[in-house]
Amino acid sequence: MIDFLPLTKINLLKFADKIKNCPFLSSDFTVGSIFMWDEDFGAEIAESAGCFIIKLDLSGETVFGYPFGGDEKAAMEEIKKYAEENDLPLSFYSVGDELAEEMKKSETGTVNASFERKWSDYLYSFEDIYSLYGGKFAGQRNHIHKFEKLYGKPVFEPLSDGNIREAEEMLDEYAAYHADGGELEREEFRATESLIANFTSLPLLGGVLRVNGKVAAVTVGEIAGRSLVIHVEKALKYYDGIYPAIFHSFVVYVKDVLGITPEYINREDDSGDEGLRKSKTQYHPVKMENKNLVKINSPLFGLGRPPEIKGDGVILNGIEERDKERYFALCSDEELNAAWGYDYKADLGSEKADADYFFGTQKSDFFAGTALSLAVREKAGGELIGEAVLYNFSICSSCEIGVRIITEKQGKGYGKAAFSAAVTLAEKMGLKVRAKCFKENFRSEKAILSSGLVKTGEDGKFYYFRREKAC
């Protein structure tokens, strides 16, 4: 069985050499990215059959990174055994298009791959950015020339113990200038601070750019496989042209000083931010590295549309266009989200949380095989009064069920009836049922127990329930 270790800096460094030679182009499988982000997703790391393996929690579902660095076929078999023993889905995140197609051909069963454009990485030709030759880069050259005219030649210094404190002071000024940013921007800034604070103890590259002796920009990246991956690029943008200057200066430093000429530069994703998308597109990427979620044998793949089932005083069926506004109110209710145990803001990126966002998300989850969201109604054709979700489909043909009812309809038995109907539907689909609830959520606990599930365990937050043993 795979022996996963908690994601700590010490444990991550044990695998640094293997990660450095990762054959994938996704920025997700780099030391810097794993350090910056994956602890927030409960990541654990391991080695099996000579391969590096990572698993994390993605929107409440366990997903694995595709193994690399050793006997991949043997490692895949170990992952499948681990998923069976722990009643987990067989899902892989951040899978490139080519590998996703290979998995569709080689894996037994139904394999589905889907990605969100906002998380796709921008890849550029290293030599193109180094030279900035040709008409298509005229705008970038002009920005750098303007910077030089105003402030002189860019003064780039490698990031080190000698200037990290100045870089951190620059980041404080940057934060004050961007104080009105959204939650994703704040999370990204916190991750940036942590990466720079730990820079000298990680296998990273970086530098600062000075203007009149003052640190006005900082960048951090690493060489990973065939790419220079840039994790951080922060600058005081009231210095005209400073972003093109720091970007180009870093590339020149990598080639001229370090003597490294990778094939690509990976500037990571745009998280759906239109301004960032425009900026990254202007550098003419030669490739977009899509990050597919690959799911194997989801029971939803055989369904053409969401099913319908009648319960005791409720009916569950597909969420429709006419439900958009009521579904938006349900999904954005902060009190319900706290009881639900999922904060949609964590997946929002730079998108706007409106009725179209939530309606589109549940539709895409269905077609991706991730989750089946059904409207809870009092009668056929009635208004949406809640949501029942079947999700976290495991390799052992089990699923987790969650139900939430709008505040004004709570305490009338709808939650209990909807949960029981969802259990019946799951069993008709050949699935065994799991559930969990916060320990203080007595109403949910009662509804779960009344539907024939039994309590199987607990941790610091949740009680866990099961209809029957999954495997």
pLDDT tens digits for 399-447? 999 999 999 999 999 999 999 999 999 999 999 999 999 999 888 899 9
pLDDT score recorded for residue 99: 97
Minimal CA–CA distance to 122: which of 294, 346, 278?
A: 278
Position 23 in a domain: yes
Question: Are residues 240 and 172 part of one domain?
Answer: yes
Q: Given the DSSP bridges, would you call strands 292-296 and 111-114 parallel, antiparallel or unpaired? A: antiparallel
Query: Are 404 and 455 contained in the same domain?
Result: yes
Q: Is the pLDDT of residue 177 over 70?
A: yes
Residues 135 and 90 grouped into a single domain = no
234 and 315, same structural domain? no
The average confidence (pLDDT) of the chain is 93
In this predicted structure, the answer to whether residue 350 has a pLDDT above a threshold of 60 is no
Question: Could you list the residue range(s) of the whole structural domain that residue 227 is in?
Answer: 121-268
Counting residues of the chain whose pLDDT is more than 90, the rounded percentage is: 86
Residue 225 falls inside a structural domain? yes
Residues 146 and 100 in one domain: no
Residues 258, 302 within the same domain: no
What mean pLDDT comes out for the span 86-113?
A: 94
Same domain, 102 and 133: no
CB atoms under 10 Å from CB of 102, counted, come to 14
* 324 & 235 share domain: no
> Mean of the pLDDT values across residues 197-203?
97
CA distances from 3 to 39, 46, 48, 54 (A): 18, 6, 8, 11
Closest CA to 95 of 41, 26, 38, 18: 26
Q: Are residues 373 and 399 in the same domain?
A: yes
Most confident range, picked from 105-109, 140-144, 460-464 = 140-144
pLDDT tens for residues 289-323? 999 999 999 999 989 899 999 999 999 999 999 99
Q: Give this prediction's pTM.
A: 0.89
pLDDT > 90? residue 109: no
We report the CATH number of the domain holding residue 63 as 3.40.630.30
- 468 half-sphere exposure, CB direction, 13 A CA radius: 9
Structurally, how many domains does the chain consist of? 3
Are 157 and 72 members of one domain? Answer: no
Residues 451 and 347 in one domain: yes
| Same domain, yes or no: 186 and 46 | no
For the four alpha carbons of 80, 86, 90 and 95, in that order, the dihedral sign comes to negative
Residue 68 CA to residue 17 CA, distance in Å, equals 12
